[in-house]
Structure 1
Amino acid sequence: MRELGRRTAALLRAGDLVLLSGHLGAGKTTFTRGLGEGLGVRGAVTSPTFVIARVHPSLRQGPPLVHVDAYRLGGGLEEMEDLDLDVSLPESVVVVEWGEGKVEELSEARLQIVVERQLGGADGDGDAGAGEDGDDPRRVTFTGIGPRWADVRLEDLAPEGV
């Protein structure tokens, strides 16, 4: 998942909204850690569950990474307004875990990533279970929505059984 995040980072640019979904322990945060490495951002990318959002500035003149965990937020976009994601989005890459049904209105274009893995074996910290990257295979589905993603070959990113 981490390597997949690094590869995906090469496609991202300022203004991109990425929605990550999948069960607890599916590897969403591990994927985002790889994104952070690929984007060259400062700071350890860890789950922002209790702080809701973290900003990781770029170390190489690229866009900052805004990492949001909407798991504990029950409402839609109005509850997310306090995070000022609409202000951050134009100059940042914004990744929202558990954002489906909550942040789609931020942008007409977004990258939706669904991570599926067999349930069981999660280590309870929101990351992949068996090892640092998790040893069990995942199925990752990338869906680009809007004109931004019309000509991007997402199918090359995630071979079956990541």
Structure 2
Amino acid sequence: MASEPAAGAEHDGGTGAGVARAGDARAGEQGLLRERPAWTAEVRADDAEATRAFAARLAAGLRAGDLLVLSGELGAGKTTFTQGLGEGLGVRPGIISPTFVLVRIHPSLVGGPDLVHVDAYRLDSAGELDDIDLESTLATSVTVVEWGRGKVEPLSDSRLDITLLRATGEQAGDELVFDFEETDAADPRTIRIEAYGPRWQDVRPIQP
């Protein structure tokens, strides 16, 4: 990550994560289950604005070649999170869900990497990624893929898996009860980050 992002990470200023063709290294389901993250972190965001603000802080430590896999049920705040990333990266405003176009490219306005926003919900397998040609932009952009778990991992040897959980705030014993049916922006979110691959081995975990 950048030398002093608010997220508390640092990096060596390299050019980004290595890129492998999807056909070269298919990660099967069992392989993904065996994979261990370099580190994990959890951050609580009290509302949608806090979600955007944290994502903007995280963006300060991203660089061209970074791959983010964004998970969370409907209403959990995936697009809100991506809007915060866009603000932090300084890309052209207007980030919305890419559901009906699969891929949207948001050019940088500050000379940094573009933001490539992908919705992989309708993709059945990693092989279908070839059709949208993410490899042509991956090395020069920050790529965020919603619903991409189990599909985009072969694209890069490093990634951030980010899961957004929106809680009702109700407690059942010691367990927090999650409810994805409501979309109230004031609901708290838990943002869980798992860092995989050599890009993140020497980066300090994200701090709340």
TM over 0.5: yes
Question: Given the two structures, how large is their TM-score scaled by the length of structure 2?
Answer: 0.68
What's 1:8 paired with?
58
Provide the C-alpha distance between the structure 2 equivalents of 1:151 and 1:29, rounded to a whole number of angstroms.
29
- CA distance 1:109–1:121, change in 2 (3 Å): same
What amino acid maps onto 2:142 in structure 1?
A: V
What's 2:197 paired with?
146
Q: Whose RCO is larger (CA < 8 A, sep 6+)?
A: 2
Give per-residue Cα distances to partners, 1:112-134, cap 9 Å, x unaligned. Answer: 10111231453xxxxxx21xxx2
Structure 1 residue 81 displacement after superposition: 1.0
1:105 pairs with 154, 163, 172, which one?
A: 154
1:70 aligns with 2:120: yes
What's 2:84 paired with?
34
Gaps of 5+ in 1: 123-128
Give per-residue Cα distances to partners, 1:30-73, cap 9 Å, x unaligned. Answer: 00000000000013110000111100000010000000011122
Length, aligned pairs only: 147
1:46 aligns with 2:96: yes
| SS of residue matched to 1:79 | helix
| Structure ID, larger Rg | 2
Structure 1 residue 153 displacement after superposition: 2.4
Structure 1 residue 151 displacement after superposition: 2.0
- Considering only aligned residues, what root-mean-square deviation do their CA atoms show, in Å? 1.2
- Percentage identity across aligned positions? 58
Gaps of 5+ in 2: 1-50, 167-177
Give per-residue Cα distances to partners, 1:59-107, cap 9 Å, x unaligned. Answer: 010000000011122x222111111111110000000000001110000
Question: Given the two structures, how large is their TM-score scaled by the length of structure 1?
Answer: 0.87
- CA distance 1:120–1:23, change in 2 (3 Å): closer
What's 2:42 paired with?
none
1:79 aligns with 2:139: no
Provide the C-alpha distance between the structure 2 equivalents of 1:55 and 1:11, rounded to a whole number of angstroms.
20
Provide the C-alpha distance between the structure 1 equivalents of 2:205 and 2:81, rounded to a whole number of angstroms.
15
Provide the C-alpha distance between the structure 1 equivalents of 2:157 and 2:111, rounded to a whole number of angstroms.
26
Structure 1 residue 154 displacement after superposition: 2.9
